[in-house]
Amino acid sequence: MPVQWIPGDPVFANSYLVGDTLIDAGVTPLIVSKYRDTIRKIILTHCHFDHTAHVKEIALMCKATVYIHHDDASGLVTDAQSLSMHFGSHSPGIVADTLLRDGDHVDDLLIIHTPGHTPGSICILDEASGDLISGDTVFTDGGFGRFDFPGGSLDELVLSIERLSALDIRGLYPGHGEPSRQGGARHVAAARELIRMTCP
């Protein structure tokens, strides 16, 4: 299924539209308003405010169901866990409709639990195409997400990236920066090598 990139600004994260599913909701409702009759589901890759800032408004506008991993669900109503105070704001104040776990499917999208950046970080794989929406787990420059925020873990992030490196990934669609429609596995491999050098 084609992945449509909705670029974030320098502070807030990218969003992606896959069929009737919006992934991440840091972009403003105005930006996604042209898709209001398409979006029926919103999947959040994790609870940080730059990915969730407008989930409540977008969900209301689109009458959409909200999904997040159960380990990050409280971040939608907790300022400290969402890091909203770093943005001079408060958590979105919305309770997710569905709590996800590793191996769940939302239509044809596979949920892969990839803790490390946050306890409930996920990546979302279209198994048919090999396209991976990676949130802040890995980026297309071979980088990876920070692990020094509350709930972060270098050890868990290493294991998550190792797990992703075993997949046959075509396109890589990260939370920040430009996506790569081909050769995604190479970017994950680069992140794997870099984080190995970071490990003590």
Torsion of CA 11, 63, 131, 138, to 10 degrees: 30
What pTM was computed for the model? 0.97
Q: What percent of the chain has pLDDT over 90?
A: 94
Containing domain of residue 84, as a range? 4-198
Q: How confident is the model at residue 200 (pLDDT cuts 50, 70, 90)?
A: low
pLDDT tens digits, one per residue of 129-174 = 999 999 999 999 899 999 999 999 999 999 999 999 999 999 999 9
pLDDT of residue 15: 98
Domain CATH for 188? 3.60.15.10
pLDDT attached to residue 182:
95
Tokens in use for 101?
A: 């776990």
Cβ neighbours of residue 141 closer than 8 Å, sequence gap 6 or more: 177, 187, 190
The radius of gyration of the chain's CA atoms, rounded to the nearest angstrom, is 15
pLDDT digits (tens, 9 = 90+) for 85-124: 999 999 999 999 999 999 999 999 999 999 999 999 999 9
Looking at the chain, the whole-number percentage of residues with pLDDT higher than 70 is 100
The H or E element containing residue 61 is helix 55-62
Assess whether pLDDT exceeds 90 at residue 198.
Answer: no
| Number of domains comprising the chain | 1
Angle at 94 between CA 144 and CA 80, to 5 degrees: 50
Q: End-to-end alpha-carbon separation of the chain, Å?
A: 40
Nearest of 117, 130, 119, 126 to residue 175 by alpha carbon: 117
- Region of 183 on the Ramachandran plot (φ > 0 left; ψ -120 to 50 alpha; else beta): left
- Does position 196 have pLDDT exceeding 90, yes or no? no
- The DSSP letter of residue 11 is S
